[in-house]
Chains A and B, each alone.
Chain A
């Protein structure tokens, strides 16, 4: 996988196929934590961190344990036909457990290593387990997609690099969406919004306008 494709993956996941605006992933935390930019920043950083880690770990789990290929651990240990070790149907179960464990682990490590960082990110970390964008990025890394006419995903060249770029880019795109939204909502709080639309409804309408703006990035593909 060439460097330019990697760059395109980043551009694609941050702008063109932004997780929140184009794929509706992570909408719950997106609306829950975007009331002020301070917490949006904290949540954004935590998501970038966890998504990148989860991409790497879930790729490894899939490649070495679930996928019936040459690198399958059971095949290397027991031999025979790799096809008989096909455990792909366990993907959802394995990934969600890995993500839950990873979030716990990251929380413990950050608490030990950097109390300052923990104070900033700590309360957002447990919320990430139920952020569907994290599980989605892990699954999308495996199922793959077309990026500007190039097929990427598990089973194609550079799949680990793609997974890392997709996870990192997805996190950055989420953080960007969160920060933009927080900035707008801070001002909206001062605005004169019709009573029935206050709170959630106006947040959704704002998200719709932001999504229209992000649709402009579709024109970048040619």
Chain B
């Protein structure tokens, strides 16, 4: 593997992280991050949809007229999302129960359409594949980071195990305000790091 190949994948992890740097896909990163388990479920689903949609869109970009490219992309994405939705309901009913609505909403996750427009429509299928995997993993990293903070502070748990025995958690961190607060401070921490 050449250096540029590796770079194509790893750029999404941190320096172009879709959530923490590009501020895309904020709804799911707030809504499903009540536990690390849900965050992983959402992350894997998004990686699947993003990678496949990137590849398919890079393959069909030649035959789709540019005036109707957005509806065509949306059809591709919605189809992939429905497949994930059905497969989760069949094989992982617990995860499907917990984040079901937000799986359907991957369709309007701006990361997917954003990468389709900004990358897949201009690059080869191979590079789009790498970009999709990288961006997807970056999204999952951000999700798991937020979820870990919220689950530890809000429920004193991680993967269902107690973290600090005897400590009473701050319940509001699992609720809606905790999501905004966590993301706000994470973005602040990232700004602090990037500046120095």
Contact = CB atoms under 8 A, between A and B. Distances in A.
B175 A100 contact: no
A89 B108 contact: no
A3 to B, nearest CB: 28
Interface string B57-82: 00000000000001100110011011
Contact of A208 (B82, B178, B189): B178
A212 B177 contact: yes
Interface residues of A, number: 45
Interface string B148-189: 000000000000000000000000100111111101110111
Contacts of A197: 184, 188, 191
Most A CB contacts (10 A, CB to CB) among B31, B71, B187, B189 go to B187
Given A31-B26, A100-B71, A196 B192 contact: yes
A140 interface: yes
Most B CB contacts (10 A, CB to CB) among A31, A129, A130, A132 go to A132
Contacts of B172: 212
Nearest to B83: A89
Contacts of A179: none
Interface stretch (A33-41, A90-98, A166-174): A90-98
B74 A100 contact: yes
B97 interface: no
B109 interface: yes
A201 B176 contact: no
Interface stretch (A22-30, A47-55, A105-113, A157-165): A22-30
Interface stretch (B4-12, B99-107, B137-145): B99-107
A7 interface: no
B192 A130 contact: no
A204 B74 contact: no
A211 B27 contact: no
Given A27-B26, A31-B23, A207-B180, A132 B195 contact: no
A23 B31 contact: yes
Contact of B71 (A21, A97, A195): A97
A200 B189 CA distance: 12
Contacts of B176: 21-22, 24, 211, 214-215
A96 B74 contact: yes
B3 to A, nearest CB: 32
Contacts of B188: 194, 196-197, 201
A201 B26 CA distance: 13
Contacts of A202: 184
B181 A132 contact: no
A24 B107 contact: no
A93 B3 CA distance: 39
B98 interface: no
21 contacts: A24-B31, A28-B25, A28-B110, A90-B82, A92-B82, A97-B74, A97-B78, A100-B71, A100-B74, A131-B108, A136-B101, A139-B104, A139-B105, A200-B23, A200-B184, A201-B185, A201-B191, A203-B184, A204-B187, A208-B179, A214-B176
Interface of A: 21-28, 31, 89-93, 96-97, 100, 129-132, 134-136, 139-140, 143, 194-198, 200-205, 207-209, 211-212, 214-215
Interface of B: 23-27, 30-31, 70-71, 74-75, 78-79, 81-82, 85-86, 101, 104-105, 107-110, 113, 172, 175-181, 183-185, 187-189, 191-192, 195
Given A205-B181, A209-B177, 7 more contacts: A24-B31, A25-B27, A92-B82, A96-B108, A197-B184, A204-B187, A215-B176
